[in-house]
Chain A
Amino acid sequence: MAEERKYMTINMGPQHPATHGVLRVVLELDGEVIVKATPFIGYLHRGVEKLAEARTYLQALTLTDRLDYTNGLSNNLAYCLACERLIDIEVPKRGQYLRVLLAELQRIAAHLIWIGTHALDIGAMTLLFYAFRERETILDIVEHVTGARLTPSFIRVGGLAADVPPEFEAMVRAFVKDFPRRVDEYETLLTENIIWKKRTRNVAPLSKEDAVSYGVTGPVLRASGVYYDVRKAYPYSSYEDFDFEIPMGERGDVYDRYDVRMREMRQSNRIVAQAIERLPSGPVNADAPAFVPPPKEAVERDMAALIRHFKLMEEGFAPPPGEAYGAVESPKGELGFYLVSDGTSKPFRFRIRPPSFLNLGAVPRMIEGQMVADVIAAIGSVDIVLGEIDR
């Protein structure tokens, strides 16, 4: 009788601290080596796409905050771009620059959560405290501008909910000046750290071809050596006005993903610096009374503005029938919204293209044949957020 090969099955999650949320991966092991990995998702499914179909376009905006909850402003931006394409309006330059500025600050904050938790997973605990210190500075700015730390709903169809307060500029300038030194600080802890390199170099590699075939986007794709960034390929919100580079990796391993994101934070800081330097004056909202509510002061003085405000808040606006896709480069990758309008004030179809969903789909490919301890490094390096995977 031939000896049958026995694999051990291990269930990782859904309550495992290093899966960054409620992700479950069933691993089939041959000793320490992973033969097969099957992720199970959906534990955080709230039916966002269904809920949005029962809400007006403005109400649906608040659902987008809750997708990738480390990254509320980019989610708002992607959704608003899709809406603006649907109704065909253009946001004035000041609005566009402020959007870029806020989205890039949010990118830094999201990457800081990633580096803190990813390093913690692998065993470098100190970094978490450093990263969260700077993240707190950004969240203070975000809170000062939007009134909320994690769920801002501040970027609205046609522009922003309001212009920024006067202190904003000084706060951003102070952050921008300080931040490069902080990234240096993080890098002294990890970049040449021999333990870090041993845990990440050549771990969980993903080839160029596989990355493209799996629809992987964002830093994970660029770490594999594919040059694609929505900000460069399909510039939106005046990204073409800014001077920045797209950091690239070669080997597509955990270390390269780390390296790409670290350099990305520096580039984001550069963009923020340029945006605050060249911030144009003028209105932040498009001149489109049918879609954009009047400013608060007008509502208090002017009867017509009050009525318009009331109508937009109660009934919402109705885009013409049609379809539009709007996408941004979120910290995780290409975040897109595909909206189908039937001419009513509620979206007929509200499709979210979540970057983490497709990036997670490539994880089994990365970790098959690797050691079981590398699963944690791989999942951390992909930087998934279950809020947008499960929706």
Chain B
Amino acid sequence: MTGTGQTIGRLTDAFGPSLSVEGPGVVVGRERLREVLLFLRDESDLAFSMLTDLFAVDRYPGEPRFEVVYLLNSLKLKERLTIKIRLNDGEHAPTVSDLWRAAEWLEREAFDMFGLLFENHPDLRRILMVEDFDGYPLRKDFPTEGYGFDRPFSVRLDADDGASKKADR
């Protein structure tokens, strides 16, 4: 899924040593991520107008622990490009939800599953798991069978799951 050499050439011309080509993608420092993505989206001859996917990879126990992968798609060039940033445990990623609306839910999912925080995200809540869920299921140190199934389920009487909070606002 590497973009053709030309796109990567344009990128290295513009950003030079702050990015490196690794296997099927381009690795960018997180402080320059938004700049790079904006460049790819808005240069008229590149026009990577669609964010196909955004997800995280947990390299535990490797360092840096997390990768956030941005799959871009240029409808004009018919070309895909993978951009990655690497994060240590506890580091935040910049949000791209203002560049692509698609990122709003995708970043929520990455937060839900990996506990990654996206700076300036407008509404960073869990999306698939229940709001009071403990832990981040797709992290490598989270057991596949989950926690707490050896104990009886407790019954919750307060039927507050976040929706009513939101609606009352």
Contacts and interface: CB of A to CB of B under 8 A. Distances in A.
Contact of A336 (B52, B101, B128): B52
A327 B80 CA distance: 11
A9 B127 CA distance: 20
B23 A323 contact: yes
Interface in B1-36: 1, 23-25
Nearest to B105: A361
Contacts of A69: none
Interface of A: 9, 11, 24, 26, 28, 38, 40-42, 45, 47, 49-51, 53-54, 210, 212-215, 226-228, 233-234, 322-325, 327, 334, 336, 338, 340, 348-349, 351, 353, 357-358, 361-362, 365, 390-391
Nearest to B55: A351
A-B interface, 7 closest residue pairs, ranked by CB to CB distance from nearest:
A215-B102, A42-B128, A353-B53, A9-B167, A213-B101, A361-B105, A45-B128
Nearest to B163: A26
B69 A338 contact: yes
A349 B57 contact: yes
Contacts of B23: 322-323
A199 to B, nearest CB: 27
Nearest to A27: B167
Contacts of A233: 75, 78
Nearest to B69: A338
A325 B80 contact: yes
Contacts of B50: 212, 215, 228
Contacts of B24: 322-325
Interface string B78-107: 101010000000000000000011101110
A191 B138 CA distance: 46
A288 B75 CA distance: 34
Contacts of A334: 52
A226 B51 contact: no
A298 B25 CA distance: 42
A272 to B, nearest CB: 25
Which of B105, B126, B142, B166 has the most chain A CB atoms closer than 10 A to its own CB?
B105
A41 B128 contact: yes
Contacts of B105: 357-358, 361
A280 B21 CA distance: 41
14 contacts: A38-B163, A40-B163, A42-B127, A42-B128, A212-B75, A215-B102, A234-B80, A323-B82, A324-B1, A325-B71, A336-B52, A357-B105, A358-B102, A358-B106
Nearest to B126: A42
A206 B95 CA distance: 24
A7 B138 CA distance: 38
Nearest to B123: A38
B101 A214 contact: yes
Given A214-B101, A351-B53, A51 B144 contact: yes
Contacts of A357: 105
A215 B52 contact: yes
Given A11-B163, A42-B130, A51-B144, A338 B104 contact: no
Given A49-B113, A53-B144, 15 more contacts: A26-B163, A38-B167, A41-B127, A42-B126, A45-B128, A213-B101, A214-B100, A214-B101, A214-B102, A226-B75, A233-B78, A336-B52, A338-B69, A351-B55, A353-B52
A362 B50 CA distance: 14
A50 B137 contact: yes
Contact of B102 (A47, A234, A322, A361): A361
Nearest to A365: B101
